[in-house]
Amino acid sequence: MDPLISRRALNRATLDRQHLLRRTGNTVTEVVEHLGGLQAQTPHTWYTGLWTRVEGFKPADAADLLLSRELVRIALQRGTIHLVTARDCLAVRPLLQPAIGRMTRSTFGKRLEGVDLDELAATARELLEERPMTFAELGGKLAERWPSNDPHALGQGVRWLVPLVQVPPRGLWGRSGPVAHTSAESWLDVEAPPMTPAELVLRYLAAFGPASVMDVQTWSGLTRLGEVVESLDLVRFRDESGLTLYDLPDAARPGEDAPAPVRLMYDFDNLFLSHADRSRVIDDTGRAALQGYVGTNVVPRVILVDGFTAGDWTVARAKGTSTLTVHQWTPIPVLEEVEAEARRLLEFLAPGDKHEISISDKPSKPGH
């Protein structure tokens, strides 16, 4: 029988690989690549995800890499925008293309009827490589060629058929800009062979393991990975429910008593989105609190205490004062540690402001 790994031990192993037991001195590109990218559909909140993990992180450490094109934001896992290295952009996107296509066809397939997809891709490439465009601009141009089709659907079809990166200034810290796209191939001056399913599984386990087949499928959006996992040289465990988990043979698995410091996470952190069974970080109280956000298209910024969900945090700015509110989902026994980390986060988010900490005994409300 496979050895048992407790939920707390599973928690500590995952936090360790996510650089959440201790901040790392690795470079931003090393961290982004190790994590398999950071979910980044919001233009700026993912910076907090790097601050939480990288010792001494400054916004320019990532913004400069977006400008130099060493990092890019592109639709990858689950069809969502991820911050990845240039090499991973080109290596991972071909592997995930079928999953992105499946999602696009299910939503926009009928509105793309009668469109030659090869011609659509070629036409869009020519337009986008001449100058970056928003989807509204691109859809309008494509509708000149396909006037009977929905311009929005045409643009989303291109998002599936052509790897599109969002170009700066979108995504730069403290700046804004249109959600303009161009092709990854024209934007990046690197080459990378497509990643294999086996390589993707190994990368996933290095950042999120130990994990089940369903876990890696949840993260990647791919299906039928059972045979791939079984073909690899992996060790096996069983969790407290009896589910088989796989892991890299030489991966670190700290004991369940390893200390886990307070962490203030950003809203779309993959720590909470990359397992079919999220109980390794979301306890029963957290699961109940998160039900209040279902259907709102809002994800709270979660506070981890002893490795598990204990609350969320919000920030409001008025008249030069930034106030971070700690929303307790359950009474937090180490509230002073949470407040200390919150003050450090405010120094990162709003270094020129006066800082205040507020404590609430209720979860935040969506939209606040």
- Is the pLDDT confidence value at 165 over 60? yes
d(Cα 339, Cα 141) in Å, to the nearest integer? 51
d(Cα 231, Cα 35) in Å, to the nearest integer? 23
Proportion of the chain in helix, strand, coil states, percent, rounded to 5: 40, 15, 40
- Percent of the chain predicted with pLDDT > 90: 94
Confidence bin at 109 (pLDDT 50/70/90):
confident
130-146 pLDDT, tens digit per residue, is: 999 999 999 999 999 99
Going by DSSP bridges, is the β-strand pair 235-238/244-247 parallel, antiparallel, or unpaired?
antiparallel
Query: What average pLDDT score do residues 220-243 get?
Result: 97
Confidence bin at 297 (pLDDT 50/70/90):
confident
Q: Are 345 and 303 in contact (CB under 8 A)?
A: no
- Is the pLDDT confidence value at 301 over 80? yes
How far lies 173's CA from each of 189, 224, 295, 313, 350, in Å? Answer: 23, 39, 29, 20, 12
326-362 pLDDT, tens digit per residue, is: 999 999 999 999 999 999 999 999 999 999 999 999 9
What pLDDT, on the 0 to 100 scale, is given for residue 366? 75
Confidence bin at 367 (pLDDT 50/70/90):
low
User: Can you tell me whether residue 118 is helix, strand or coil?
Assistant: helix
4-19 pLDDT, tens digit per residue, is: 999 999 999 999 999 9
- Percent of the chain predicted with pLDDT > 70: 99
Sign of the alpha-carbon torsion through 272, 274, 280, 284? positive
Query: What average pLDDT score do residues 146-150 get?
Result: 95
d(Cα 72, Cα 66) in Å, to the nearest integer? 6
309-322 pLDDT, tens digit per residue, is: 999 999 999 999 99
Query: What average pLDDT score do residues 106-112 get?
Result: 91
Average pLDDT of the chain, as a whole number:
96
CB atoms within 10 A of CB 348: 14
* H/E stretch holding 321: strand 321-328
Nearest to 34 by CA among 268, 259, 270, 245: 270
What pLDDT, on the 0 to 100 scale, is given for residue 368? 56
Burial class of residue 152 (count of CB atoms within 10 Å of its CB; 0-12, 13-18, 19+): middle
- Is the pLDDT confidence value at 251 over 60? yes
13-47 pLDDT, tens digit per residue, is: 999 999 999 999 999 999 999 999 999 999 999 99
What pLDDT, on the 0 to 100 scale, is given for residue 296? 83
- Is the pLDDT confidence value at 3 over 60? yes
Q: Which tokens hold the place of 129?
A: 């490589």
How far lies 232's CA from each of 77, 181, 197, 237, 357, in Å? Answer: 22, 37, 11, 15, 49
Q: Are 229 and 246 in contact (CB under 8 A)?
A: yes
DSSP character string of 224-286: --HHHHHTS--EEEE-TT--EEEE-TT-----TTS----EE--TT-GGGTS-SS-TTT--HHH
72-107 pLDDT, tens digit per residue, is: 999 999 999 999 999 999 999 999 999 999 999 899
